[in-house]
Amino acid sequence: NVCIFAYGQTGSGKTHTMQGPIDPASQFRGIIPRAMEQVFKTSEDLAEQGWKYVLTASFIEIYNENLHDLIGSGNEKIEIKLVNEKKREVEVTNIRSVIVQNTFDVHELLLKANKNRTVAATKCNERSSRSHSVFRLRIDGKNSKNGDQCTGNLNLVDLAGSERVAQSGSTGQRLKEAQAINTSLSELGNVMMALQEKKTHVPYRNSKLTYLLCNSLGGNSKTLMFVNVSPLDKHTAETINSLRFATKVNRVDLGTAKKNK
């Protein structure tokens, strides 16, 4: 199980890092299209050894601690359910999952998700993502030569902006959004701290984000975080806060991940 985050204040380049331009031919493609290119190439290479993979993608938004399906109808109530407590496996109800077979399929999903994501203007950025977005890929493999099977989960996360309320100039609905974002990011920090200190209880359920990603944070998983910072002098305080969070995350030792069979 693998999780890759982009963390930082609004306008620091998180969405550009994770998605890049919505152009499959661009040299500035982000983590999501590049990761999927790698997955498709590796699955093709392993076909010679008898492996066949089914790749199932979904795209979820977490807005004000509510889940929304970015590629579905958006009419169904979405919930996170724990299906295997020992392995911390969760499933998300009432979302659209799509089998993807090539980069064109992924490009189409990104186009639809971008149209549906919640954005709004703040003082930090005129088009600020007010939600976390999570691109999820489930990989199921079976080897026709020896009968081996394996599963894996890839979560690629574009976090909402981490700036302080006073800095963003948020009021009304924007203020409510900022408070939900900051609470969610604070709980992510608490999970990282609990993992760092090897605590027996890790508070995954304290936020929808950490609960959704619980099988990719700690235990049998690999986690990578990009910390995006602004080059502007006026954002120095937010940059320092981002780097402090990065230092906290960098101290976490998840151990060695093993293959899911």
Q: Are 129 and 15 in contact (CB under 8 A)?
A: yes
The pLDDT mean for the chain works out to: 86
Instruction: Give the pLDDT mean for 76-83.
Output: 88
Helix axes 172-196, 236-250, angle to 10 degrees: 30
For the chain, percent of residues with pLDDT exceeding 70? 88
Q: Which amino acid is at 240?
A: I
Most confident residue range from 51-60, 88-97, 112-121: 51-60
* Sign of the dihedral through C-alpha 120, 123, 126, 128: negative
Q: Are 9 and 230 in contact (CB under 8 A)?
A: yes
For the chain, percent of residues with pLDDT exceeding 90? 49
HEC profile of 137-152: EEEEEEECCCCCEEEE
d(C-alpha 56, C-alpha 91), whole Å: 13
Smallest CA-to-CA distance from 94 within 106, 118, 76, 109 is with 76
Those residues whose C-beta lies under 8 Å from the C-beta of residue 44, and which sit 6 or more positions away, are none
- Class of residue 257 by CB neighbours under 10 A (exposed 0-12, middle 13-18, buried 19+): middle
**166: pLDDT strictly greater than 70:** no
Q: Are 245 and 182 in contact (CB under 8 A)?
A: no
CA 254 to chain CA centroid, nearest Å: 18
Q: Are 42 and 52 in contact (CB under 8 A)?
A: no
Q: Which amino acid is at 142?
A: K
Residue 64, pLDDT score: 86
d(C-alpha 31, C-alpha 37), whole Å: 10
What is the C-alpha radius of gyration for the chain, rounded to an integer number of angstroms? 18
Q: Which band of pLDDT confidence, cut at 50, 70 and 90, is reported for residue 126? A: very low
Instruction: Give the pLDDT mean for 144-163.
Output: 90
Residue 125, pLDDT score: 46
d(C-alpha 147, C-alpha 181), whole Å: 45
d(C-alpha 206, C-alpha 197), whole Å: 18
Q: Which amino acid is at 206?
A: N
d(C-alpha 131, C-alpha 109), whole Å: 18
Which pTM does this prediction carry?
0.88
Residue 196, pLDDT score: 84
Tell me the three state secondary structure of residue 5: strand
**Model confidence pLDDT, tens digit, residues 32-69:** 999 999 999 999 999 999 999 999 999 999 988 889 89
DSSP string, 42-103: HHHHHGGGTEEEEEEEEEEEEETTEEEESSS-S-S---EEEEETTTTEEEETT---EE--SH
**128: pLDDT strictly greater than 60:** no
